[in-house]
């Protein structure tokens, strides 16, 4: 008999968790499961609510972080503590519809290693977000060797084998979408229409999404470094040709060298490209620095796991 561990990162989800658990209970009457709530340093009463749910329901486990470590860290903590032979990751805000779960579990029993949800529409989201996300997928897939599926979510059921593989990538900079894709395995994509949050607000601003995209790219490809080299090489060649051109012009036609504007443009262009390249280099250095410090991905303050 299958046992499903459901990993649920929660950040200020006081209005959602109870509804979430209700839905799960209704959907999974025929299954054995545990729900692992990870309270990611919420500042509202999420923890108290989860604690109460755990007191009255033996299927509910929780882990509470000492502060906000981010969704990716919460997922990692949940996966480490999942005991099921099937492991599921899903959001607390019911944007990941629990009624897809039976179909996902079914797909695994058909022989797939992973059953993952894919949003087919982004109804109800601002146009900038849609455009930005489309651009991100195009860019990411162009520069990395991974092929992210557009609309793919973190919502998935996987076998223990896949979950263990994900845990082997114990890096500090965790971009889950990339990690899930990187480990491979046979995935069945299950499509669904975008759902609005039941309560609260998404914590993502445009600026955060932008930063997240940069992190994702830096975490999974070093192509930007090669682009710097490529740009540098092209500019050097062009500069050399231009130099030869000026020398010849001076020697043969005795044309005096002129052009303040040209000089300014060149200096500014080169300065810009140099700063950009240093920035790219710096980004990789930053990531390397953070990885080498080997800090824990999360710190647990309180949990009911291993209580018995």
Q: What is the DSSP string of 164-175?
A: HHHHH---SS--
Select the residue interacting with ligand UDP from 27, 68, 194, 304 (CB under 6 A). Answer: 68
Q: Which residue has the tokens 């882990």?
A: 63
Query: Does residue 88 interact with ligand UDP by CB under 6 A?
Result: no
Select the residue interacting with ligand UDP from 43, 203, 208, 263 (CB under 6 A). Answer: 203
Structure tokens that stand for 48 in this block: 């108290």
Name the binder of 113 from Mg ion, ligand UDP, none, CB < 5-8 A by kind: none
Query: Does residue 11 interact with ligand UDP by CB under 6 A?
Result: yes
DSSP label of 151: T
CA dist 46 → 39, 42, 53 (Å): 7, 6, 11
Query: Does residue 132 interact with ligand UDP by CB under 6 A?
Result: no
Closer residue to Mg ion in complex, CB, 49/92: 92
Query: Does residue 93 interact with Mg ion by CB under 5 A?
Result: yes
Whether residue 159 contacts residue 85, with contact meaning beta carbons closer than 8 Å, is answered with yes
Select the residue interacting with ligand UDP from 49, 89, 92, 117 (CB under 6 A). Answer: 92
Whether residue 172 contacts residue 108, with contact meaning beta carbons closer than 8 Å, is answered with no
Residue 192 bridge partners (DSSP): 119
By rule CB under 5 A, what count of residues binds Mg ion?
A: 3
Whether residue 195 contacts residue 95, with contact meaning beta carbons closer than 8 Å, is answered with yes
Name the binder of 9 from ligand UDP, Mg ion, none, CB < 5-8 A by kind: ligand UDP
Name the one range near Mg ion by CB under 5 A: 86-94, 218-226, 259-267, 293-301.
86-94
Rounded to a whole number of angstroms, the minimum distance from the CB of residue 203 to ligand UDP is: 4
Query: Does residue 153 interact with Mg ion by CB under 5 A?
Result: no
Q: What is the DSSP string of 230-275?
A: HHHHHHHHHHHHHHHHHHHHHHHH-PPP--HHHHHHHHHHHHHHHH
Closer residue to ligand UDP in complex, CB, 204/240: 204
Select the residue interacting with ligand UDP from 6, 7, 9, 36 (CB under 6 A). Answer: 9
| Strand-strand pairing, 32-39 and 187-192 | unpaired
Query: Does residue 14 interact with ligand UDP by CB under 6 A?
Result: no
Query: Does residue 70 interact with ligand UDP by CB under 6 A?
Result: yes
Rounded to a whole number of angstroms, the minimum distance from the CB of residue 26 to Mg ion is: 20
Helix 206-220 / helix 260-293 crossing angle, nearest 10 deg: 80
What phi and psi values does residue 266 have, to the nearest 5 degrees? Answer: -60, -45
Select the residue interacting with ligand UDP from 50, 77, 84, 91 (CB under 6 A). Answer: 91
Query: Does residue 13 interact with Mg ion by CB under 5 A?
Result: no
Query: Does residue 95 interact with Mg ion by CB under 5 A?
Result: yes
Query: Does residue 204 interact with ligand UDP by CB under 6 A?
Result: yes
Rounded to a whole number of angstroms, the minimum distance from the CB of residue 202 to Mg ion is: 5
3-state secondary structure of 294: coil
Residue 9 bridge partners (DSSP): 38
| Strand-strand pairing, 3-10 and 152-159 | unpaired
Select the residue interacting with ligand UDP from 14, 34, 93, 113 (CB under 6 A). Answer: 93
Q: How far is residue 5's CA from residue 59's CA, in Å, rounded to a whole number? A: 10
Residues that bind Mg ion (CB under 5 A): 91, 93, 95
Residues that bind ligand UDP (CB under 6 A): 9-11, 13, 40, 68, 70-71, 74, 91-93, 95, 202-204
């Amino acid at each position: 008999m299958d046992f499903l561990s459901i990993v649920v990162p929660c950040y200020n989800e006081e209005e959602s968790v109870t509804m979430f658990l209700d839905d799960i209970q209704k959907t999974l009457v025929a299954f054995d499961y545990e729900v692992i709530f990870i309270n990611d340093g919420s500042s509202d009463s999420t923890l108290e609510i989860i604690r109460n749910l755990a007191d009255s329901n033996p299927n509910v486990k929780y882990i509470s972080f000492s502060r906000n470590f981010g969704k990716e860290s919460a997922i990692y903590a949940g996966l480490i503590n999942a005991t099921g032979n099937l492991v599921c990751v899903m959001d607390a805000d019911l944007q990941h519809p629990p009624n897809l779960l039976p179909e996902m579990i079914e797909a695994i029993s058909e022989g797939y290693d992973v059953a993952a949800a894919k949003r087919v529409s982004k109804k109800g989201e601002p146009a900038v977000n849609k455009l930005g996300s489309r651009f991100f997928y195009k860019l990411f897939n162009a520069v990395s060797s991974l092929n992210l599926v557009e609309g793919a979510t973190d919502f998935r059921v996987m076998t223990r084998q896949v979950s263990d593989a994900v845990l082997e990538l114990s890096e500090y900079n965790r971009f889950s979408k990339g990690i899930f894709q990187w480990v491979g395995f046979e995935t069945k994509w299950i499509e669904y229409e975008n759902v609005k949050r039941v309560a609260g607000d998404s914590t993502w601003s445009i600026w955060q999404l932008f930063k997240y995209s940069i992190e994702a790219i830096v975490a999974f490809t070093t192509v930007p470094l090669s682009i710097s080299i490529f740009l540098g090489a092209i500019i050097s060649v062009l500069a050399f040709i231009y130099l030869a051109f000026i020398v010849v012009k001076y020697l043969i036609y005795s044309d005096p060298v002129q052009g303040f504007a040209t000089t300014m443009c060149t200096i500014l262009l080169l300065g810009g490209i140099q700063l950009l390249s240093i920035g790219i280099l710096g980004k990789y250095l930053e990531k390397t620095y953070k990885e080498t410090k080997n800090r824990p991905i999360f710190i647990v303050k309180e949990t009911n796991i291993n209580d018995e």
